[in-house]
A and B are shown apart, each in its own frame.
Chain A
Amino acid sequence: MPVLAGRELRIVGFLCNWCSYGGADTAGVGRFTQPTDLRIIRVPCSGRIDPLFVVKALLGGADGVLVSGCHPRDCHYASGNFYARRRLEVLKGMLPVLGFEPGRFEYTWVSASEGQRWQQVVTRFTEQIHALGPSPARDILAPRRGLASGKGGDSARA
């Protein structure tokens, strides 16, 4: 995060290739102003999203995770988002028991043509995460120790 060092948080977005990813693109083409905290991972369908993707991101120190797929009845694969809706709803209920504030994870629907809507979603979610601040997991779950103490060692060609 070189540009906004210290001011940006780490937000991971899992977006369906057929809708929300296009929606984000539409927002970009339309030159809508958006916050830049979100890092997008494109998936073929919201039904592809294992709730564990979200847990892994959060335990790894992500400050927020956003999932966005096709509106119900609009799934490219007919029913992927219906299954996703159930799984993600259950996940949403479970995360607080691990100690993540309820707002750190959200799921929503944005179609490829909804550039404006994408702008609103990403802005609102980013604001929500900024209101919560950095994730407690970063300190409490002791992320990987920093590498190389600088006390010198051997080196070789791989």
Chain B
Amino acid sequence: MQELDALKQRIVEALPGLDCVIGWEPGPSPLTAAPLFMRTPADVDRLVWGPFNAPNTAVYLPAFKGRKVGVVVKGCDSRSVVELIQEKLVRREELVVFAMPCRGVADASKVAGRVGDLGQVSAAARDGATLQVTTPEGMAAMPWDEACADKCLNCQYPNALVSDHFLGDPLAPAQGRDAAADEMGRFEAMAPAERMAWWAQAMDRCIRCYACRNACPMCVCRDHCIAQTRDPHWVSQEDGVREKLMFQAIHALHLAGRCTECGECQRACPVDIPILALRRKLNRVVKDVFDYQAGVDPQAVPPLFTFQVEEAKINERGW
């Protein structure tokens, strides 16, 4: 792949001035790529770009604040970078952003739904509109639309919104179905109590590992999350769905107007709970009320960081 070679070349050239460059290398399973921290040209050789580069590289950036660092991004990752810049959690001048046009990433959980045990997958590759997965039973081909992450179906930002080195020809936005809207539709079709019971059932298997939080590029409190303080006692050590749902509410509300919907929270969940739904709903509210989308404009002020004396779309309660 010519573009990838050119990208590697650019990274090698930039390395001497950088602490490291964050990208991806093949992960422990053929369906995953793992974040790679490149410090030497030999590290750069391991860089991959393709349908398994799901992890969001922006999650590591705030820890590098004050040091000059490079990062390879997909379009969606670049929105997290933009949001971090907006919130002054990283400095643009300390970043060197490398990017290529992204054709989407696979959703391991969807693939598992088709082929069963991912531990048995020995090879996986994308061939245009299909994903080919090799298991002991042989090779299974599934349509890419059914294997890719929901966000990729109608991705509006396949090309990085911010970059210093962009290799390859920009892609047009994807035209697929709006999976987020479909999900919201399913939620809205339920009666309120039914919806709560649905959450109670889904959250029951939550193990409170907080991978959703730690994988989130906008969760910048890191070691000092309010979910782990004893005073105030936001969540207790009790094991019920009430505590688990409270934590989800904490995460979601702290992301209101900041979430770029990269979906890392849900991807990181080891027990596959569809927690992105809460963030999607909040993003819809923010879009409706403030006509705002997070991580698109480095100059924009996130809506909950500011106000207007007369709010155009807030209907003051007249009683």
A and B touch in the complex (CB under 8 A): yes
Q: Map CB proximity to B onto A53-93 as digits: 1 under 8 Å, 0 otherwise.
A: 00110011000000000001100000100110111011101
Partner of B285, one of A93, A99, A140, A144: A93
Residue of B257, B307, B316 ringed by the most chain A CB atoms within 10 A = B307
Chain A residues within 8 Å of B187, by CB: 97
Using a Cβ–Cβ cut-off of 8 Å, how many residues does chain A contribute to the interface with B? Answer: 39
Q: How far is the CA of A98 from the CA of B251 in the complex (A)?
A: 14
Contact partner, B253, options A94, A100, A124, A142, Cβ 8 Å: A94
Q: Which residue of A lies closest to B285 (CB)?
A: A93
Residues of chain B within 8 A (CB-CB) of A52 are 234, 249-250, 253
B residues 261-319 touching A (CB-CB < 8 Å): 277-278, 281-282, 284-286, 288-290, 303-304, 307-309, 311, 314, 316-317, 319
Q: Does B192 contact A (CB under 8 A)?
A: yes
| A117-B313 Cα distance, complex, nearest whole Å | 24
Listed from nearest, the 9 A-B pairs whose CB atoms lie closest are: A99-B196, A93-B285, A82-B307, A99-B195, A136-B193, A97-B281, A141-B242, A55-B249, A108-B317
Q: How many angstroms from the CA of A126 to the CA of B270 in the assembled complex?
A: 42
Residues of A contacting B278 in the complex (Cβ-Cβ under 8 angstroms): 94, 97-98
Is B36 an interface residue, CB under 8 A from the partner? no
B308 cross-chain contacts in A, Cβ below 8 A: 82
| Least Cβ–Cβ distance between B282 and chain A, in angstroms | 5
Selected A-B contacts with CB under 8 Å, 5 pairs = A87-B256, A90-B285, A94-B282, A94-B285, A142-B241
The dominant DSSP class at the A interface is: helix
Q: Given the complex, which residues of A lie within 8 Å of B307, measured CB to CB?
A: 79, 82-83, 85-86
Asked if residues A90 and B257 are in contact (CB atoms below 8 Å), the reply is: yes
Closest Cβ of chain A: how far from B225's Cβ, in Å? 13
- Residues of chain B lying within 8 A (CB to CB) of residue A98: 195-196, 199, 245, 249, 278
A141, B281: Cβ atoms under 8 Å? no
Q: Once the chains bind, are B192 and A93 in contact (CB under 8 Å)?
A: no
- How many Å from the CB of B306 to the closest CB on chain A? 8
Contact A108 B240, beta carbon cutoff 8 Å: no
Residues of B within 8 A of A (CB): 187, 192-200, 234, 238, 240-242, 245-246, 249-250, 252-253, 256-257, 277-278, 281-282, 284-286, 288-290, 303-304, 307-309, 311, 314, 316-317, 319
Report which of B196, B200, B290 forms a contact with A100, defined as CB distance below 8 A: B196
Specify which chain A residues have a CB less than 8 angstroms from the CB of B246 in the assembled complex: 55-56, 59
Q: Report the minimum CB–CB distance from B248 to chain A (whole Å).
A: 8
Contact A97 B249 (CB under 8 A): no
For chain A, residues 94 to 124, give those with C-beta under 8 angstroms from any C-beta of chain B. 94, 96-101, 106-109, 120-121, 124
A143 at the interface (CB under 8 A from B): yes
A136 to B289, CA, bound (A): 28
Q: Is the CB of A90 within 8 A of B193?
A: no
Assess the A136–B256 pair: CB atoms within 8 A.
no
Cα-based distance from A94 to B252 in the complex (angstroms): 9
A sample of 16 more A-B contacts (CB under 8 A), given A85-B307, A94-B285, A141-B242, is A52-B253, A55-B246, A60-B242, A79-B307, A89-B285, A89-B289, A90-B285, A90-B286, A90-B289, A97-B187, A99-B196, A99-B199, A106-B317, A136-B196, A141-B200, A142-B240
Q: Kindly provide the distance from the CB of B196 to the nearest chain A CB, expressed in whole angstroms.
A: 3
In angstroms, Cα B198 to Cα A136, docked, is 12
Q: Is the CB of B253 within 8 A of A85?
A: no
A124 / chain B contacts, CB cutoff of 8 Å: 319
Q: Identify which of A85, A93, A144 gathers the most chain B CB atoms within 10 Å of its CB.
A: A93
